[in-house]
Amino acid sequence: MQTVSCEMLSGESLLKMTIFGDVISTNVDELQKKVTEVLQGTSVSQGGWNQFVLNLTSARMIDSLGLNLILSIVKKMKINEANIKILIANSTVHRTFLATRMDKIAEIELVES
Amino acid sequence: MELDNSKQKTRILAVDDDPFTLETVRLVLKRRDLEVAVASTAEDAMNILSEQGTDAFDAVITDFRMPGMSGLDLLSWISNYDTTLGTIILTGEGEREVVMSSFRRGACDFLEKPFKPGDLRNAIAHAMKVTQDRRNTEETFSELEAIGVLQKKLTGGSSTVESGRSRQMGDFIVSTAVFPIRESGGDFYKFYPLGPRRIMFVCGDVSGHDLKAGFISAYFQGIVHGMVEMGGHVQRICEFFNRLLVQDWNQESLQNGVMVSLSCGFVVLDLDKGYAQGFCHGAPLPGLWSMEHGVQTVGSSGSPLGWMEPLLDYSGRMRISERGCCVVWTDGLEDLAKDLHLNPYALAYVLSYPSDERPIRRLLSRRHDDVMVLHVQWGKRVDDPSLPDLSVPIFRDRYSGDTGNRIDFYQADWEKNIQAVLPLLPLNKLQEIILCIREAILNGLEHGCGGQGQLACRITMALDEGASLFYIRVDDDGRGFQQEPLVDIESTTPWEHVSLGTAIIKCYAQKVEYFDSGSTLLMTFRVGEIKEANSTTTPT
């Protein structure tokens, strides 16, 4: 089952990473490995993109360990000085991001699922 | 199987439009001294049964294919009229569907035409035996019901169906839920007010649901009643009855191998002295809930009465808070909870506080034993509106410190139980509460217990009277700590998820309190207004 995917869009100026499902303590280690693999992929590592979108619209739950993973991804992407946006569809996940002030380090967008 | 000819006037009704078959049946059974009445149609058979009464017959054998009403129609009519009468259907060869339909209509056997005399005799003998057994059982049930009524009159306790019956006894509010399999025997309870602020109650279960069980239950309750009136001590009462069972009842029973035992649990609550005392002999331990201490069980459980002598004293005593709740149930509730994959406290709550949104009939259809639960609350203060309503525990569990990897399994359990208790709770509210519990338990296991298997984390959930405030208490065996919510997300390092967890909890819970340097966390969630909002839009 696919857990993480990455694609280059808008003429290679936008990098979109999708994490499928919840991001929680019991799967963060596996997701961390997948994210690392994906980011080391040729097209991603070559750079050239200036927008990064993290798609979390299929997540119903993200716990504190999951937030840590998101945080580490965002920090890694910030090195490229890209605009970062996180897409969320679940209202509880959205509220959790606001409560933990994730909106201070990335634009959080609540989208319809 | 051989026909029993010892009984006088054994009568069989044979129904067939074929005179040859009727004559064959009559001749074969006459040779066994059975009296045979005959009818050539289902309608005639109904007339005979109506006029003479179904109890005038010991079995009915009917053909399937007849002009007018069929044999299946006759079977349906008989089963509506008398569920005890054994019936046999005669079918053509290979009419499997007819046979299946006949069983659904209460037939106890079938015969394919043409049949051999031996097969007919066996089928009739079987049907007669079924009739006899069913009639004996029905008679026993009637007697059990009579004993149940007598039991209630004698003891003032109850063994009849009660669902969420609440009443005030001095400073105590008691709620009882009783769902017996039979009207007597089985589970029983009784309250003994010992003053406005002191109460004793007993609940118990006798092995079996027969007449003997009903008698022993009534006898025990009578003895307890009398001895309590005389100021007898609970342990002495139990020792006396244990001796009675071991030396008198079971000594004799050893010969035929059927022993009788009685499980019982007594609880004494004394609000002035501030203690609870429990005496348990084979019964589940009473749970004592308070906001200050979570749920604790009182005493240890010894063997049921009737097993062996001497009866050891496993009673226990503990201090109680000014406000709290004692929950007691019998093993039928634990078995049903296991069957339903529910926490016993959640099931106890659902059965004791029924409502339109929590129908209990479906839950009870799975029970194989009597189910009984008592809730006894104290500390209600009508003169102090600042105090929250009394609360009732709805979930309790304990997780070993090294089981953080099972958190998803635990989470599914919380979800299932909260939904059973609060079925109208909106999904987003449920997700928020679950997320907070997850954070609290992960914190307790990983940090409080340090992932060590010899330490544990405990969770108790409780709901107030109006189901408007939801309390979740998490305790761990660690030394505790208290961490403020993070201030600067930018500086958070990947291992600082405790801060994030605290921030999440403080975001969703109405109130967050730490005790014992943070090794105890009490979260309060407001769920009432959501319930009210929903009730206006949800059809009842």
Q: Which residues of A touch B445 (CB under 8 A)?
A: none
Best mutation target among A101, A108, A110 (most B Cβ atoms within 10 Å) is A101
CATH architecture, domain B11-138: 3-Layer(aba) Sandwich (3.40)
Partner-chain contact B428 A91, CB within 8 Å: yes
DSSP summary character for residue B249:
I
DSSP summary character for residue B447:
I
Q: How far is CA B440 from CA A63, A112, B100, B320, B451, in A?
A: 11, 30, 56, 26, 14
Partner-chain contact A26 B405, CB within 8 Å: yes
Partner-chain contact B431 A95, CB within 8 Å: no
Domains, chain A, in order of start with CATH, read: 4-110 (3.30.750.24)
By Cβ distance, the residue of B408, B431, B501 closest to A64 is B501
Look at strands B287-290 and B324-329 and give their pairing.
antiparallel
Place of tokens 């003998």: B125
Helix spans in A5-63 (H):
28-39, 42-45
Q: Print pLDDT tens along chain B (540 aa).
A: 445 544 457 899 999 999 999 999 999 998 888 899 999 999 999 999 999 988 899 999 999 889 989 998 998 898 888 888 999 998 887 777 777 777 777 788 888 888 899 999 999 998 998 888 888 777 666 666 666 666 565 555 555 566 667 889 999 999 999 888 766 557 888 899 988 999 999 998 888 766 777 788 888 888 888 888 888 888 999 999 999 888 888 877 666 656 788 999 999 999 999 999 999 998 999 999 998 889 999 988 888 998 888 888 889 999 999 999 999 999 899 999 999 999 999 999 999 988 777 778 888 888 888 899 999 999 876 667 677 778 999 999 999 999 999 999 999 999 999 999 999 899 989 999 999 999 999 999 988 899 999 999 999 999 998 888 999 999 999 876 655 555 555 555 544 555 788 889 998 999 999 888 778 999 999 987 543 333 332 222
User: Residue A22 in contact with residue B401, Cβ under 8 Å?
Assistant: no
Burial B231-244 (b: 16+ CB within 10 A, else e): eeebbebbbebbeb
Domain boundaries, chain B: 11-138, 143-378, 391-534
Burial B50-59 (b: 16+ CB within 10 A, else e): eeeebeebbb
- Looking at the complex, report in whole angstroms how far the Cα of residue A27 sits from the nearest Cα belonging to chain B: 10
Angle between helices B71-81 and B96-104 (to 10 degrees): 10
Partner-chain contact A68 B434, CB within 8 Å: no
What are the φ/ψ torsions at residue B46 (nearest 5 degrees)? -60, -40
In the stretch 29-88 of chain A, residues with CB closer than 8 A to chain B read 60-61, 63-65, 67-68, 71-72
- Residue A43: pLDDT over 70: no
Neighbouring CB atoms inside 10 A of B323's CB total 19
- Structure ipTM: 0.87
Q: How far is CA B276 from CA B263, B289, B319, in A?
A: 20, 11, 6
- Looking at the complex, report in whole angstroms how far the Cα of residue A7 sits from the nearest Cα belonging to chain B: 26
CATH T-level fold of B143-378: Phosphatase 2c; domain 1 (3.60.40)
Best mutation target among A26, A28, A63, A108 (most B Cβ atoms within 10 Å) is A63
Q: Which residues of A touch B438 (CB under 8 A)?
A: 24-25, 61, 63
Q: Residue B161 CA to chain centroid, in angstroms?
A: 11
Q: Cα torsion for B139, B140, B144, B146, to the nearest 10°?
A: 30
Neighbouring CB atoms inside 10 A of B269's CB total 26
Question: How does DSSP assign B78-146, residue by residue?
Answer: HHHH-TT--EEEEE-TT-HHHHHHHHHTT--EEEESS--HHHHHHHHHHHHHHHHHHHHHHHHHHHHHH
Partner-chain contact A102 B489, CB within 8 Å: yes
Q: Which residues of B touch A96 (CB under 8 A)?
A: 435, 504, 507
Q: What is the pTM of this model?
A: 0.72
Dihedral sign from CA coordinates of B508, A25, B471, B291: negative
Distance (Å, whole) CA B336 – CA B367: 6
How many cross-chain Cβ pairs, A to B, lie less than 8 Å apart? 74
B391-534: what CATH class? alpha beta
Residue B435 contacts A, CB cutoff 8 Å: yes
Q: Which residue of B has its CA nearest to A73?
A: B494
Q: How far is CA B236 from CA B200, B231, B298, B323, in A?
A: 15, 11, 19, 30
